[in-house]
Chains A and B, each alone.
Chain A
Amino acid sequence: MESQVDELEAARESVGMPQLDFSTFPNQIFWLVVALVAIYLLLSRVALPRIGAVLAERRGAITNDIARAEMLKQQAEEAEAAYQKALTDARAEASRIIDKTKVDMQEQLDIALQKADAEIAARAAESERRLAEIRDSAAAAVEEVARDTAREVVSALGAKADGRSINAAVTAQLKGGAA
């Protein structure tokens, strides 16, 4: 304890607080100013512009990358839109073709039906005409036969009858019968 106190005492006597030893102040201040000026020059001339440039460059690069990604995304979206449009167009085209084909087929069908109808009608008319012919000829034949028969019957009965009155009578009889 005693020796420690002595030591402290000695330190007090000889040095005091080194911080308050004014004889070293000019030295410290001089070297401090030198150091600060050196650091200031190094920082302001070399370090800070360089770091600032690097940071700005990085920010620029990041902004660029984001912009490029944005652009690519937009392109992809555009491509997708174009694809969708093409798809829609193709669908529309297909349905249009289908509709057109349907209409064409309907038309052709109608024409064919009409043609068939006309042919059928023509043939029916022809058949009817021939039927009428046959019927007419049959009627004529019946008239002839009836006239001949009537003449024979009249002559057989001995009566004298001119052909004209017989014809008229037969015709009237036939017409009345037919009616």
Chain B
Amino acid sequence: MEGDIVTMGAYLGAGLACLGMGGAAIGVGHVAGNYLAGALRNPSAAPGQTAFLFIGIAFAEALGIFSFLVALLLMFAV
């Protein structure tokens, strides 16, 4: 196995960055779960709030994508 310590660090960092996606997954699950709980409590108000559901999911997911981006940058652009 070849390669220098920079490559190793980059790959390790990429792997660690992927942990961030777990956080994003928790966030998305939290948003969707709370939406569902609220929707079951008051189903008549649910359709008007789907837009906010998607906005919330988008924001939570964006941070996961940032971590993915960091991983990609470490893999290919460092």
Show the binding face of A for B, using Cβ within 8 Å.
Answer: 1-2, 5-6, 8-9, 11-12, 15-17, 20
B1-58 interface with A by 8 A CB criterion: 1-3, 7
**Residues of B contacting A11 with CB < 8 Å?**
76
Q: Is the CB of A5 within 8 A of B2?
A: yes
B55-78 interface with A by 8 A CB criterion: 72-73, 75-77
Pick the contact of A17 from B1, B2, B7, B77 — CB < 8 Å?
B77
Pick the contact of A2 from B1, B72, B77 — CB < 8 Å?
B1
Q: Is the CB of B76 within 8 A of A17?
A: yes
Query: Chain B interface secondary structure, helix, strand, loop or mixed?
Result: helix
Compute the total of residue contacts between A and B using a CB distance below 8 Å: 23
A163 to chain B minimum Cβ distance, whole angstroms, is: 139
Query: Chain A interface secondary structure, helix, strand, loop or mixed?
Result: helix
A2 to chain B minimum Cβ distance, whole angstroms, is: 6
For the complex, what is the distance from the CA of A2 to the CA of B1, rounded to whole Å?
6
B68 to chain A minimum Cβ distance, whole angstroms, is: 12
A18 to chain B minimum Cβ distance, whole angstroms, is: 9
Residue of B nearest to A6 (CB): B2
**Residues of B contacting A2 with CB < 8 Å?**
1-2
**Residues of B contacting A17 with CB < 8 Å?**
72-73, 76-77
**Residues of A contacting B73 with CB < 8 Å?**
17, 20
Residue of B nearest to A11 (CB): B76
A23 to chain B minimum Cβ distance, whole angstroms, is: 15
B33 to chain A minimum Cβ distance, whole angstroms, is: 33
For the complex, what is the distance from the CA of A176 to the CA of B15, rounded to whole Å?
169
For the complex, what is the distance from the CA of A1 to the CA of B75, rounded to whole Å?
16
Residue of B nearest to A20 (CB): B77
**Residues of A contacting B7 with CB < 8 Å?**
9
A8 to chain B minimum Cβ distance, whole angstroms, is: 8
For the complex, what is the distance from the CA of A25 to the CA of B77, rounded to whole Å?
16
